[in-house]
Amino acid sequence: MDVLPCGHVAYPSTSRMCRHLLGPDGDEVDHVRLLTGRGLEYDMCCDACDRADGDPELTQVCEGCAERVGDEDNRTMVGWRGEAEILERPEPVDPTLRRTPLPRALRDPLDWAAIPGESGSAWLFLTGRKRLVRLDAGSGEHETLTRVPLRRERGEDRQPDRRPRPRLHVSPSGRYAAVVHDRGTGGTLVDLRSGQVMMSLDGGDDRTEHVPFALAFAVHRGREVVVHRTQWNRLDVSDPATGRLLTAREHPEPAEGERFPAHYLDYFHGAVHVSPDGRWIADDGWVWAPVGIPTVWDLRRWLDENPWESEDGPSRGNLAWRHYAWDEPMCWVSDRQLAVSGIGHDDLYLLDGVQIFDAESGAEVTRFAGPRRPLMADDRRLYSAGADGLEIWDPFTGERTGAVPGFFPERHHPGAAELAALHDGTLVRWPTGR
């Protein structure tokens, strides 16, 4: 091996750097990353060279020097320049959309969601009058199932993106629904068959304006369960049929000046997502400074073996550290792999794309540029909404395989195998072709 311009006898990196980033203090200099157009490869130059006239002068460096400056934990990166390469593998796509005109009461819902237990295209709407209405998109028929009592949430004086907003969740069988307030304190869980209120949900009021209300349904050992926030740093699992707590444990808050008790979790829970097979749960929460930390753990182990699994159990693992970045789209692309939106370590410099992690090991499996919010997936494709409409991706190769221009999906109905959006008083659907 030859001596490289950085002064080291080593293997050359695919990244080059300006001379101001060389030397032992180079990782303390603010720098930008210059995408080369080859996948996610990039060169690096200091902020001064980036602002100077003309192209920066770059030199070849060894892998060690490039890794030191380009390390994921290095916060001296202040921006991206250029474009990442989007890998393409075009496949036939039928762009035909199905349209169902909505009755007047459903045209401006507070929220809406798929009814997973239905084999056809069935949807649940939360109207402005707090009524839950079932819609059969195939026939257009609709019926009111029940009315949900919701307490008024404080926070209307906050900035618009921090105000409480109703969010509708439906259980896998379609029997139960929960209406909670994202960026709020609580909600209600009802039995859609009887209309009976089964649980009153309370997640506490500590900094709720920063996160959606953590709630997700799952199936464990043949019965439905609901995961829900009960304090800023505590999740619980309950039986929606009885309201019985399934994760009982003592969880005291330390008084000022006291030491943290065992299992204490200094983490604000965010949106939670259960894997398709019901084994893993992902949590998009944050900690002070603030830093977003997507986290996963084994839901089965939590219920069967260790009620503290969500705090510090052996299966609990952090997937990434992203300064000021949480409440970002994420979805399961398989029973074990989770796609997290955005590439980077700071909310100001997140590149459009996804990082995909393995839940069991916590390791990053792959990353690729392109997909934007929102994210949805089935067991074969990842779906996102680009500038021109739906984009279809292979999450295992990172290739874009197709598009449906003009269609911007908002919801996914796994049972009916379709994506859907509301547009001009119409429910617009596109079959995923599974």
Q: In this predicted structure, what is the pLDDT of residue 267?
A: 97
Burial class (CB in 10 A: 0-12, 13-18, 19+), 203: buried
Instruction: Name residues whose C-beta falls within 8 Å of residue 387's C-beta, 6 or more positions apart in sequence.
Output: none
Alpha helices (H) along 283-356: 299-304, 309-312
pLDDT at 157: 84
Beta strands in 129-250 (DSSP E): 131-136, 142-147, 165-170, 176-182, 186-191, 197-202, 215-220, 223-231, 234-238
Q: What is the C-alpha separation between 103 and 321, in angstroms, rounded?
A: 45
Query: What does the pLDDT profile of the chain (434 residues) look like in tens digits?
Result: 679 988 899 999 999 999 999 988 888 999 999 999 999 999 999 999 999 999 999 999 999 999 999 988 788 999 999 999 999 999 999 999 999 999 999 999 999 999 998 779 999 999 999 999 999 999 999 999 999 998 889 888 898 889 999 999 999 999 999 999 999 999 999 999 999 999 999 999 999 999 999 999 999 999 999 999 999 999 999 999 999 999 999 877 777 878 888 999 999 999 999 999 999 999 999 999 899 999 999 999 999 999 999 999 999 999 999 999 999 999 999 999 999 999 999 998 999 999 999 999 999 999 999 999 899 999 889 999 999 999 999 999 999 999 999 999 999 999 999 999 999 999 999 999 75
Contact 369, 343 (CB under 8 A): yes
Per-residue pLDDT, 379 = 86
Provide the residue type at 182 as one letter: D
Q: What is the pLDDT of residue 434?
A: 57
Measuring CA to CA, which residue among 299, 419, 253, 280 is closest to residue 338? 280
Domains of the chain: 12-85 (no CATH), 91-102+328-434 (2.130.10.10), 148-255+263-326 (no CATH)
- Give the model's pLDDT for residue 308: 97
Gap between the Cα atoms of 298 and 307, Å rounded? 11
Query: Rounded to whole angstroms, how far apart are CA atoms 192 and 179?
Result: 12
